[in-house]
Structure 1
Amino acid sequence: MDGTDLTGRLLVAAPALEDPHFRRTVVLVVVNRPSRLPVAEVLADWGGFASDPPVMFAGGPVGEGAGLALGVPGGAGEPPGWRPLESPPDGPPAPQGVGVVDLDAPPQILGVALGRFRVFAGYAGWGEGQLGAEIEEGAWYVLPALAEDVFSVDPETLWARVLRRQGGDLALVATLPDDPELN
């Protein structure tokens, strides 16, 4: 798995992955871990542009003091201060229309040009060869990403929804209870 570009793909935690930072997560950055902290309390000028739920999301356990913003333009063209996620040359496309938002750009210009906007604190990171080894051992499913995944209004159910839409065995995995001993 080393050397494979995972840009534009989701890493969906397998049920056996017990690390509390990644248990039942969906990772482009971690897109299904909303906090209770409103975006407006951290980035006052951007708070009014945040998609529902308008809170900071835990993007991962690395660099939690740093922010990453993703957005989808709401109109024609690419607004200044927005850069589309790039698809790898030999891989699946990045989620259609999703891009990185420059939080140093003026929100009164860029913010109004965005149809959807979300801010993540931190990111997911792995040491050299670590992610490839985890994928090989079955800790992660590598699946196509959709823009709706990044901006889900119900992030708590995203893990199961992404698995269900794959069909087959993964749809069955989506039905496993959070605590297998309750089954």
Structure 2
Amino acid sequence: MEQLAPGILLIADPFLKDPNFARTVVLLCEHQEEGSFGFVVNRPFDHKLDELIPAVLTPNIPVFYGGPVQLDTIHFIHQIPDLIEGGFEVIPGLYWGGDFATVVELINRGELDLQKIKFFIGYSGWASGQLEGEFNEKSWILSGINPPLLFNGNEEEIWKQSLQKLGNNFAMMANFPIDPSLN
């Protein structure tokens, strides 16, 4: 049984109705008594990074909807701490944040492996005790992280693949309809 902790994936229960989190997978980056935060990793945002940050010269770098909090902020996770200093290590080999000016410079020079970095607008946040309450209400299914899944570019499948990885009962849930009353 996984516990709430940095690096855990929060997989939305198939029947979770909250429009911010229906059929999402959230990477939990921090979990403390004061609260928790993370990023929805499987919901593409409708603008690219160069549209949001004019200093970025490379077009078509995807941005993801990290969650409903502070939609005026850009965040990122990555696997390249040797190039991007100042990041917080979520789990070994996976980092949140770092020097954004360096990221922009590396992108513009074509020196950043875009398969090892993921950008988010906004984030998902929970006040003290809130995430535990949602977990106890069965809103979330916990899973260990699979970093290649986060960066594979097939966001539409992350929710299903995360459930399938957990085994038979969960794999079956991956095929549940969004609204069973419509069957």
Structure 1: give runs of 5+ residues left out of the alignment. 87-93
TM superposition shift of 1:45: 4.3
CA distance, structure 2, for counterparts of residue 13 and residue 81 of structure 1: 32
CA distance, structure 2, for counterparts of residue 128 and residue 8 of structure 1: 18
Query: Which of residues 76, 83, 90 in structure 2 aligns to 1:79?
Result: 83
**Share of identical aligned residues, percent?**
31
Query: Which of residues 101, 104, 118 in structure 1 aligns to 2:101?
Result: 104
CA contact (8 A) 1:39 1:47 kept: no
| TM-score after normalising by structure 2 | 0.79
CA distance, structure 2, for counterparts of residue 70 and residue 137 of structure 1: 29
CA contact (8 A) 1:24 1:159 kept: yes
Q: How does 1:80-159 map to 2 (within 5 A)?
A: 80-81=84-85, 83=87, 85-86=89-90, 94=91, 97-100=93-96, 101-105=98-102, 107-109=104-106, 112-114=111-113, 115-159=115-159
CA contact (8 A) 1:13 1:23 kept: yes
Moved more, 146-155 or 39-48: 39-48
Amino acid at match of 1:42: L
Residue number in structure 2 paired with 1:89: none
Structure 2: give runs of 5+ residues left out of the alignment. 28-38
| TM-score after normalising by structure 1 | 0.79
CA contact (8 A) 1:38 1:47 kept: no
Residue 156 and residue 127 in structure 1: after superposition, are their counterparts in 2 closer, same or farther (change >3 A)? same
CA contact (8 A) 1:34 1:57 kept: yes
